[in-house]
Amino acid sequence: MTYSIDKTKGIVKQARQVNSPNCDARPDSDDISLLVIHSISLPPGQYGGPHVDQLFTNCLDPDVHPYFDEIKHLRVSSHLFINRQAQLTQYVPLTKRAWHAGESEFDGRQVCNDFSIGIELEGCDDENYCDAQYLTLAEVTKSIREVWNQITKDRIVGHSHIAPDRKTDPGEAFDWDYYFSLIQ
């Protein structure tokens, strides 16, 4: 599937839209130059269900799972999420700052949220991602790069690359070579 992006609004037209309040204006709306790939599963190691939507919209019920009680205070989001069936969900317009990277640094610049787009894959660091997820990730990456051509191959990183002391995602199971072969 080819994804169309409304550059003015930052909306991926084919994505399911779920609005997260966890975003704000970028300091420089013309400075989108990094793509950060993450992974998430809620509860850890489990897939499916409404929990990612709930986390990114501040509606996660801490009584559903003990882990949820640990993260109930978080106010986080991502621009996009690709579940195990390769369905694409958008939480934050690409033109806004999503709260996905936290304390981070890339190429000498801190606060990567200011200039990056974050994409979450439903998965775990040590479990293979689905081929369909890679295909969706590749197609949406190509569309993003058509709009924001500053995002070159060397400016596509994992969360672990920009926050190595805090984060490990998307993890050792993420096949960078395969993904890069798809976006060539």
Residues annotated as catalytic (active site), given as ranges: 120
> Which residues are CB-contacts of 87 (< 8 A; sequence separation ≥ 6)?
16, 136
140, 12 contact by CB (below 8 A):
yes
Tell how many helices (H) and how many strands (E) occur in the chain: 5, 12
Structure tokens belonging to residue 3:
């994804």
Which is it for strands 11-12 and 5-6: parallel, antiparallel or unpaired? antiparallel
